[in-house]
Amino acid sequence: MAFMFYGGERIDGEGLDSLTIKDPATGEEVAEVPRGGAGEVDEAVRAAREAFLKWSRVPASKRGQMLLEAAAAVEAKTGELAPVLVSEQGKPLREAKLELHAFVRTLRHYGGMAKNIRGGYVPDLDTDTYGMVVRRPLGVIGAIVPWNFPTTLLANKLGPALVTGNTVVAKPAETTPLVTTRIAEIMHRAGLPAGVFNVVTGRGSEAGEALAAHPLVRKLAFTGSTPVGKMLVGKAAVNLKRTTMELGGSDPMIVCDDANLQKAASAASVGRFFNCGQACLAIKRVFVFDAVADEFIETLSEKVGKLKLGAGIEKGTMIGPLHTSGGREEVEEQVQSAVDSGAKVLHGAKRPDGPGFANGNFYEPTLLVEPSHSSKVATEEVFGPALPVWRVGDLDEAIERANGTPFGLGSSVWTADLNRASEAAERIEAGYTWVNSPQVVYDELPFGGWKESGYGKEHGIEALDYYTETKAVVVKRHQR
Ligand code: NAD
C-alpha cells in the first residue's frame, strides 16, 4: 500500500479503504493508496496550521534556501520518479521527465524570489506619521490538483505559497497520487520542516470537498474542470476563503495568410497532441485564412500522420493512452458529433488496432476539417487527441470565432503583420496570447484564465499576491 504524507510522516491509512491506481496503457494495477477523507484532511490541516506558526516567521531568505534545496533533492530523483509518473498517468517517458523538470524549475523560480518580496512605504500621511503596505501570508493553503500534470500544477501553488510563508495541504487527483506523495517526502527529507507541505490522498468528493470546506484553510488553490471549480467556490465560501480557479479551456489558434505555415503547423501539432491532448492549455480549435487553408491543412496533416502512438514507457512513443476509459469515451462522443455534423476526417477518429493497444485507453490522433460550429468540438472543451480546423475569411471573423466559447485560457496567432498580431492580442478574450510562438508557459509571466476558465494568477511575480494578504500599517513617530 502506498502512503499519504503529512505532519512530516508517512501515513499508511490503516483501517481506511483504498483506491486502486491503474496503468492507463495496460489496465494493470500499479498500487493501492489510502482513501483519505474528512478525518485525514483535518489531521493534515491541523499539522499545517501548527507548522505555519513557525514557518511564517522563518526569514524569507532561509525559506527560499530551503525551497532551492528541496528542488535539488527532487531533481536528483527525477530518474526514479519519471517512470512512476508514466505508470500512473500514461504520458510518454520523455514528457514525464520534462514535467518533473518543470516542477523543479518553478520551485527554483520562487525560491529565488525570496529576497525580493517587499511592500510599500507612504511618507507624510499626517504630522510625524507614515504608512506601510505590508504583505503577510494567509495561513494554510488547500491545493487541489488534477491528473494531467500532477506535479507542475502543484509546483505552481507550492512555490509562491511556501516562499511567502504559507503551508500547504495538497489533494492530488485520485488516479495520480503516487509521485506527489513521494515528492512531499523527498522535500521533507531535504529539510522542509514537518507540516509545511502535506499530502492527503483520496477522492475529490470526499477528501477534496473536506479540504475546500475546512475552516482552518485560508485559501483554496484549485486546478481542474470548470463545473467542479464552480461548485468548490461555494464550499470555500464557508469561511470566505480566498480562491484561485485554474479551469478548463478551448484555446483558439488563428493562422493568417502571411503566416509561416510550416512553423504554425508544427505548433498546432505539438500544441494539440502533447500529453495526448489532455492539457488545459492546448490548441483545441484552429481558424485558418481561406487563402492558405489547403496548404496549411496538408502540412498539418503530414505532421499528424507521423505521430507515433504507444505505451508511455516504450521508446519512441509520441502519444500515450488517454488517462481514463471515461475520458476516451467522452472524446469519442465529441468526435462523433463532429463527424455527424459533416466534418471531413483526415486522420484517426477511431481506436487503434493491434495487441499493444488492446487493454489501454488508446485513441488515434484525429484531425477534423470543417465540423459544424455547433458540434461538440466547437462548443465544448475537448480533452484528448482531436483537432478541428475551420476556414475563415479574415481576422474579424477569426477573432469572433475565437471568442465564441465560455472559455478564455490561452490563444495564439500566426502572422507576419505586427498590426494584425497586436490587434488579435488585444481583442482575444484569454489570459495568454502567443504570437508566432508555440504555447510555452514561462515561469516569468502571469498565467490564468478569463471568463469561465477561472480567475487568479499563477506564475510570474503576480502569483505572490494571491498567497498574501495586504495590510496597511500606520506609524506615528512620537507618542504625543
Ligand atoms: P476535475 O475537476 O474532475 O478534478 C480535478 C481535481 O479536483 C482532482 O484532484 C479531483 O479529485 C478534484 N475533485 C473532483 N471532484 C471534486 C469535488 N466534488 N470536490 C473537491 N475536489 C474534487 O478535473 P479533471 O477532469 O481531473 O481535470 C481536467 C480539467 O482540468 C480540464 O477541464 C482542464 O482544462 C482543467 N485544467 C485546467 C488547468 C489550468 O491551469 N487552467 C490546468 C490543467 C487542467
Written as nine digits, the cell of 463 is 502569483
Whether residue 236 contacts residue 243, with contact meaning beta carbons closer than 8 Å, is answered with yes
pLDDT for the residue 18: 96
Please tell me the residue having the least CA distance from ligand 1 atom 16: 204
Written as nine digits, the cell of 459 is 506564475
CB of 147 closer than 6 A to ligand 1? yes
Q: Where would I find the beta strands (DSSP E) of 270-359?
A: 283-289, 344-347
Share of the chain above pLDDT 90, in %: 98
Please state, in angstroms and rounded to a whole number, the distance separating the CA atoms of residues 467 and 450.
19
Residue to probe by mutation, ligand 1, list 180, 228, 238, 447, most atoms within 8 Å of CB: 228
Please compute, for residue 307, the number of CA atoms within 13 A of its CA located in the half-sphere on the CB side. Answer: 31
Q: Which fold has domain 251-442?
A: Aldehyde Dehydrogenase; Chain A, domain 2 (3.40.309)
What are the structural domain ranges in the chain?
Answer: 4-247+453-473, 251-442
pLDDT for the residue 351: 98
Reduce the DSSP state of residue 180 to 3 states and report it.
helix
Instruction: Name every residue whose Cβ is closer than 8 Å to that of residue 264 and which is 6 or more positions away in sequence.
Output: 253, 255, 296, 414
Written as nine digits, the cell of 455 is 480567475
Could you report the per-residue pLDDT of 288-309, keeping only the tens digit for each? 999 999 999 999 999 999 999 9
Please tell me the residue having the least CA distance from ligand 1 atom 20: 208
CB of 146 closer than 6 A to ligand 1? yes
Please tell me the residue having the least CA distance from ligand 1 atom 26: 146
Residue 452, φ and ψ in degrees, nearest 5: -85, 10
Calculate how far, in angstroms, residue 128's C-alpha sits from the geometric centre of ligand 1. Answer: 52
Calculate how far, in angstroms, residue 452's C-alpha sits from the geometric centre of ligand 1. Answer: 14
**Out of 75, 256, 280, 452, which one is annotated catalytic?**
280
CB of 144 closer than 6 A to ligand 1? yes
Helix and strand numbers, DSSP H then E, in the chain:
14, 20
The terminus-to-terminus CA distance of the chain in angstroms comes to 67
* Cβ count near 249 (within 10 Å): 29
Q: Which of 422, 433, 420, 372 is nearest to 257 (CA)?
A: 420
Q: What phi-psi label fits residue 346: left (phi over 0), alpha (psi between -120 and 50 degrees) or beta? A: alpha
Average pLDDT of the chain to the nearest whole number: 97
Assess whether 381 carries a catalytic annotation. no
Confidence of residue 479 (pLDDT cuts 50, 70, 90): confident
pLDDT for the residue 281: 95
Please state, in angstroms and rounded to a whole number, the distance separating the CA atoms of residues 369 and 390.
6
| pTM greater than 0.85 (yes/no) | yes
CB of 408 closer than 6 A to ligand 1? no
Written as nine digits, the cell of 297 is 491543412
* Cβ count near 446 (within 10 Å): 17
pLDDT for the residue 355: 87
Q: What phi-psi label fits residue 308: left (phi over 0), alpha (psi between -120 and 50 degrees) or beta? A: beta
Could you report the per-residue pLDDT of 354-411, keeping only the tens digit for each? 989 999 999 999 999 999 999 999 999 999 999 999 999 999 999 999 999 999 999 9
**Out of 88, 99, 246, 330, which one is annotated catalytic?**
246
Instruction: Name every residue whose Cβ is closer than 8 Å to that of residue 475 and which is 6 or more positions away in sequence.
Output: 129, 130, 131, 132
CATH code of domain 4-247+453-473: 3.40.605.10
CB of 159 closer than 6 A to ligand 1? no
Assess whether 280 carries a catalytic annotation. yes
CA distances to 34, 75, 78, 269 from 147, in Å = 17, 20, 18, 22
Could you report the per-residue pLDDT of 47-99, keeping only the tens digit for each? 999 999 999 999 999 999 999 999 999 999 999 999 999 999 999 999 999 99
Q: Where would I find the beta strands (DSSP E) of 93-211?
A: 120-126, 129-137, 140-144, 167-171, 197-199
Total residues found in the chain within this entry: 480
